[in-house]
Structure 1
Amino acid sequence: MNEIALLGLELDKLKSVYRKSYITDGSRNENSAEHSWHLAVALMGYSSLIPADVDINKCIQMALCHDICEIGAGDVCAYHDTSGKYEQEFEYMDEFRSRFPTFGNNAKELWEEYEAGVTTESQWVKVFDKLLPFLLNIASEGRTWMEQDITRSMVVKHNAFIGDVAPELLKWMYVEIDKAVNAGWLDPA
């Protein structure tokens, strides 16, 4: 099989990495490929909220590549112990780059930029990368939060960085967090 076919089949594996979040209708967990697509399209849809000097095309590319690492490392709940996760992801992205040098090099650079979170583009991708699972939790009446024993303080801590990038969005999220606590979807601790 040539590199073109092998790359397509390798990327298809992202469809088999299931996340903790449920799709909107609650019938099943989303997979990482769906999440990456959802994130890329959401960045396009919410582009009016993103400053004009942010390279939206780079954001979309980063969104599509940020979870390729999960093909080799799997997905973990962001609220629990993630020690060793970065190392596993880095190892897979190194292997991916060596197997598919042309695309793999670009994908690894985008992944590293996302992980570092220093550029404006990576920060905006991270904002929406956190917002989408949050919205899915609201849509599913906190199903993932309840299944994973997630508390209000954990959600607040996990999303606090959003205040540095999109403070109005974080204010809205805090209102939704309080509603979720009042509805019994999120442990108040």
Structure 2
Amino acid sequence: MILEKEISFILALDALKNVNRRNFNLDNSRRENTAEHSWQIVVLAQILLPYAKDQTKINLLRVIKMLSIHDVVEIEAGDTFIFDETAMMGKYERELAAAKKTFGILDEPLSSEFLNLWIEFEEEATTDAIFACAVDRIMPFILNVYGDGTSWTEAGIKPEQVENIVGKAVKRASEEMGEAFEILLKKAIDQGKLKM
């Protein structure tokens, strides 16, 4: 059938709606799912582009593609909490295998294009990937700061952890985003959402 693999792939992505993340929705009523996260960061990238350090060098369409597919691996590998050092061991290998399997549903050249975009995002070596990574990291941070911070408090997350994992990525991409990060980090500390 024509479009059979494309339809199979998009139907496989429906499973992202069932992958719960550690982060909570803003109203703290439930944990967000990966599909919701992916949609929100795609929108956020468009909003934050004017603040990127190398804005003129960033290909927004490539960034959007990266952000829309980089968490597809969670269908097979699950969501790994970025502050869980034990769970982070072997994460890249698990997710690479999941990426190859899931993107392998598609024919070439799209299968390789998606896999290469996923690898580029993970390596954080290009201007596009640096910006995409910053957007991906700052969204859960914003939800924790403006929400109840439950995913942080239940795991006993410390300010240094947030600075090292989120702050560094954000500051590489944008001075303004870095300044906003520092202000919001202080707010989270003052409100007791991070363990001192």
What's the TM-score bracket when you normalise by the shorter of the two chains?
over 0.9
Question: Which SS does the other structure have where 1:27 is aligned?
Answer: coil
Residues in 2 aligned to 1:98 and 1:30: alpha-carbon distance in whole angstroms: 27
Q: Which moved more, 1:137-146 or 1:111-120?
A: 137-146
- CA deviation profile, 1:132-156 (whole Å, cap 9, x unmatched): 0010001213211101111111111
Task: Provide the C-alpha distance between the structure 2 equivalents of 1:129 and 1:5, rounded to a whole number of angstroms.
Answer: 27
Q: Give % identity.
A: 29
The two structures have a TM-score, normalised by structure 1, of 0.93
Contact 2:19–2:33 (CA<8 Å) still a contact in 1?
yes
Letter in 2 for 1:125: A
Equivalence for 2:37: 35
Return the alpha-carbon distance in structure 2 between the equivalents of residues 171 and 45 of structure 1. 16
CA distance in 2, matches of 1:46, 1:178: 21
CA–CA separation in structure 1 for the residues paired with 2:57 and 2:7: 37
Distance, in Å, in 2 between the alignment partners of 1:60 and 1:8 is: 17
Deviation at 1:161, TM superposition (A): 3.1
Q: What secondary structure does 2:139 align onto?
A: helix
Residue 172 of structure 1 is matched in structure 2 by 180
CA contact (8 A) 2:130 2:169 kept: no
- Counterparts of residues 71-150 of structure 1 (less than 5 Å): 71-81=75-85, 82-102=88-108, 103-150=110-157
Question: How far 1:84 sits from its partner (Å)?
Answer: 1.2
Which runs of at least 4 in structure 1 moved beyond 4 Å after TM superposition? none
User: Within 2, Cα distance between the matches of 1:97 and 1:33?
Assistant: 16
- Provide, for residues 157-188 of structure 1, a one-character-per-residue CA deviation record: whole Å limited to 9, x for no partner: 11223222213322221222122112111112
Number of paired residues?
A: 188
Cα deviation digits, residues 53-81 of structure 1 (max 9, x gap): 21011111111011111111000110112
> Gapped runs of 5+ residues in structure 2?
none
Shift of 1:47: 2.3
Tell me the C-alpha RMSD between the 2 structures. Answer: 1.5
Instruction: For 1:183, give the aligned amino acid.
Output: Q
Question: 1:96: how far off?
Answer: 2.2
Counterparts of 2:117 and 2:131 in 1: how far apart (Å)?
Answer: 13
